Amino acid sequence: MDSVFSVIGSYVYWDVRSLLLFTAVFILTADYIKNRRLHSFPPGPRAFPIVGNIFTVDFNRAHESMTQLAGKYGDVYSLRMGPVWMVVLNGFEVLKEALVNQGDSLVDRPCFPLQEDMFHGRGLALSNGNTWKQQRRFALSTLKHFGFGKKSLEPVILDEFAYCARYLISCKGKPFNPHTILNNAVSSIICSVVFGHRFEHSDEKFIKLMKLFNKGLEIEVSIWAQLYNSFPRLMRCLPGPHQTIQNISNNIKDFIREELKQHRQKWDPSDQRDFIDCYLNKMNKGQADSTFDEENLVVSVIDLFVAGTETTTTTLRWAFLYMTKYPEIQAKVQAEIDRVIGQSRQPSMEDRPHLPYTVAVLHEVQRMGNIVPLSVPHATTRDIQLGGYTIPKGLIIIPNLTSVLFDKKEWKTPNTFNPGHFLNEEGKFVKPAAFIPFSAGKRVCLGENLAKMELFLLFTSFMQHFTFSTPAGVQPVMDYCIGMTLAPRPYEICVTSR
């Protein structure tokens, strides 16, 4: 009897093992057939079954990793993240051909499950079609109205510098980390545009909002987000940091809805004080094909905060760091400001054409800082030809801005901080075509003009009134850490009044 059970047990064991083996072979074969590269498709590194190239790319330095792959596979190559294929574009000519010459074919954003679960295709940054067209057109005109029209943002920006200046003076030359004060200042400028008022930097609600944004952005660029976007059904069921981002998103939305509630109580269509007032006015026009509703408003405000705070703050942090590393360049900037503006008045945007060296330094900070190294992904709206390859409709496109900002063909000393990249022989400011930190084409950053104004006025004001240096015995560390932007590692500086 025992022998009978032994035979049956052995049979069952072999049968289960055979079933598992068959299942594994079937899955691997199906994965290969479904996801193999076609002959006309861009080449790329060998993709592993199921996970693809998730572990091929080092996400702690993804821009460097992807730039190195271009050296092996060419300026147009492909990667597979889980079951999702994407094409990485490298070099100025390729990016220009794709984003500008064939811009209509790359105007969409891909649908990432993590962002889709939070924002449902609304807002400015990740929306498509009619929603994107209407929201972007409105945002551009509104930002222009508040930034360069009758209600110029210059006084708002300079007032925020005054708050920063008082804090810097209170430090009395002692080392401090400038991240928080810069982040609060730039965020307050966005608050003025969106909400019509600033928050005190010590306001508990404001501090909580900034912490929520920082934590959410940290998760969005982590490996957890990549796994979520590659395997959404599985990751929705598994624990991890990706599960907290929905709560973070909801808390931020609640904050904005509370501001919206207060606006509605005092709203006057004849007095449009800020972005929300303008949006409420647009909502109440009731056009048939209108996409202007409360949810789009809330997500648009989030997009403005993310785009308008993180990039400008990070650029200024790099600027301070580079000025401490190159004190001779800092001194030359200060000398130009003293000659053109002096110490008796505040800078103005009208001074910009007369400060070529200062503007060149600021542009070189943006180039070397490489704030958004892989831009924001695009998606093809139709089959296109690029670099001799066929890229099908609906594919994710990654514009590698790093490959352009550090291209040896475009810059004399691509890996060296050199303001001369933006000056001609007469010392006048020139902007090379390959300078595209805000990307290019129809999806170019809509806050570019606002960012330029903030960076110029704040950087010039800081240089006008203060000298930056590292603490005694400390050398500037130019290494970066990955987040929503490529930011310098936390550092401390000393500031002295001029």
User: Which range marks the domain in which residue 19 is found?
Assistant: 1-36
- Give the C-alpha separation, 345 to 355, whole Å: 15
Q: How many domains is the chain built from?
A: 2
Q: Which of 64-73, 115-124, 228-237, 402-411 has the lowest mean pLDDT?
A: 228-237
> pLDDT tens for residues 203-220?
888 888 888 887 887 788
> pLDDT tens for residues 153-176?
899 999 999 999 999 999 999 999
Residues 2 and 86 in one domain: no
Residues 108 and 24 in one domain: no
Q: Angle formed by the axes of helices 294-305 and 245-266, to 10°?
A: 110
Please, which pLDDT band fits residue 5 given cuts at 50, 70 and 90?
Answer: very low
Total number of residues shown for the chain: 498
Give the model's pLDDT for residue 476: 92
Predicted confidence (pLDDT) at residue 347 exceeds the cutoff of 60: yes
Q: What is the CATH number of the domain that holds 63?
A: 1.10.630.10
> pLDDT tens for residues 97-115?
999 999 999 999 998 899 8
- Residues in Cβ contact with 278 at an 8 Å cutoff, skipping those fewer than 6 apart: 138, 142, 145, 272
- Residues in Cβ contact with 144 at an 8 Å cutoff, skipping those fewer than 6 apart: 449
| Whole-model pTM over 0.75 | yes
Residues 313 and 369 in one domain: yes
Question: Is 42 contained in some domain?
Answer: no
Residues 28 and 177 in one domain: no
Q: Are 361 and 326 in contact (CB under 8 A)?
A: no
Average pLDDT, the chain: 88
Share of the chain above pLDDT 70, in %: 91
